[in-house]
Amino acid sequence: MTNFPSNHTELIKRVNSVVNDNPMSLTEIEIPNRNVSLFKVDIPASNSACARIGLFTGVHGDEPAAIASILAFLEQRKWTEFPNFEFVIYPCINPTGFDLGIRENIDSQDINRSFTGKGTPESLTVRKSVGKQKFDLWIDAHEDPEETGYYMYPLFSDESWGTQIVKQVSTVGPINSKPVIDDRDVKDGLVSLPSRQELSAFMKTTDQWPLALYAYSALGQNGMTTETPGQIDFDTRVQMQLSAQIHSMRLLQHSIL
Ligand SMILES: [Zn+2]
């Protein structure tokens, strides 16, 4: 993507200009102890709503293609393919980290280990803003700066979705062929996850929840964490993110319409 915004102010300016030209709204939410805010875009369904999609991006400040894909989703009006869906979009959950180009927030905290317990200013603000909303599909977009191939954590109700999404993404860029990433078994770009029961038990043993565990436990048991490979060119990574997002939405659309 050409002209990727170099800072949070620039990013929100771009988001705002899409919001001004389309039937959607932008909400600014103060983050305690920060001089930058959390921003949220709400896109209502243009027909009668039958599903709600949550897009969560930029928890890590050094994963630019994830943020760029949400900007592309907005600027290229990708939501118009889904007139029955309403979207709740957080384009940048870690504005201080984004401005500094670092994974953590300005206090060196990994927000993606703070989605339960006392949390961080950013995770608490997201949780408060989401409230009791439920989502039919949530997407937690990330990048892995060290990798050369795409992989993902599939938390879908229908286990075939992960395979279908990876297949689609493989038409855009390389899929990770490693058998193990971050101590987890991986097959054809899909991280093997514990069963739902084991996952629930595991969640009770740790207070360092990533956003995905919070989403899975509070927002709905149908979602994914995408990881595009930081070692390949930027535009391909953005297209891979978009491909995963849009294909998951198409699968949801097929399953309910
Ligand atoms: Zn990340």
Q: Indicate whether 1 belongs to any domain.
A: no
Q: State residue 157's pLDDT score.
A: 92
Q: State residue 1's pLDDT score.
A: 58
The position carrying tokens 């989403």 is 215
Q: What is the per-residue pLDDT across 227-238, written as a single tens digit (0 to 9) for each? A: 999 999 999 999
CA of 62 to the centre of ligand 1 (A): 8
CA of 60 to the centre of ligand 1 (A): 5
CA of 209 to the centre of ligand 1 (A): 13
For the chain, what percent of residues have pLDDT higher than 90?
Answer: 91
**Rounded Cα gap, residues 148 and 65, in angstroms:** 14
Q: Indicate whether 68 belongs to any domain.
A: yes
CB atoms within 10 A of CB 225: 24
CA of 49 to the centre of ligand 1 (A): 31
Q: Indicate whether 2 belongs to any domain.
A: no
What helix, strand, coil percent values describe the chain, rounded to 5?
A: 40, 20, 40
CA of 14 to the centre of ligand 1 (A): 22
For the chain, what percent of residues have pLDDT higher than 70?
Answer: 99
Q: Indicate whether 45 belongs to any domain.
A: yes
Q: Indicate whether 3 belongs to any domain.
A: no
For the cut 80, the answer to whether the pLDDT of residue 2 exceeds it is no
CA of 32 to the centre of ligand 1 (A): 22
Q: State residue 159's pLDDT score.
A: 92
Q: What is the CATH number of the domain that holds 108?
A: 3.40.630.10
For 106, the domain range is 8-256
Q: What is the per-residue pLDDT across 41-80, written as a single tens digit (0 to 9) for each? A: 999 999 988 999 999 999 999 999 999 999 999 999 999 9
Q: Indicate the pairing of strand 85-90 with strand 51-57.
A: parallel
228 has which bridge partners? 143
Give the count of domains, the chain. 1
CA of 31 to the centre of ligand 1 (A): 20
Q: What is the per-residue pLDDT across 109-128, written as a single tens digit (0 to 9) for each? A: 999 999 998 999 999 999 99
CA of 57 to the centre of ligand 1 (A): 9
Q: Indicate the pairing of strand 25-30 with strand 180-181.
A: unpaired
CA of 256 to the centre of ligand 1 (A): 30
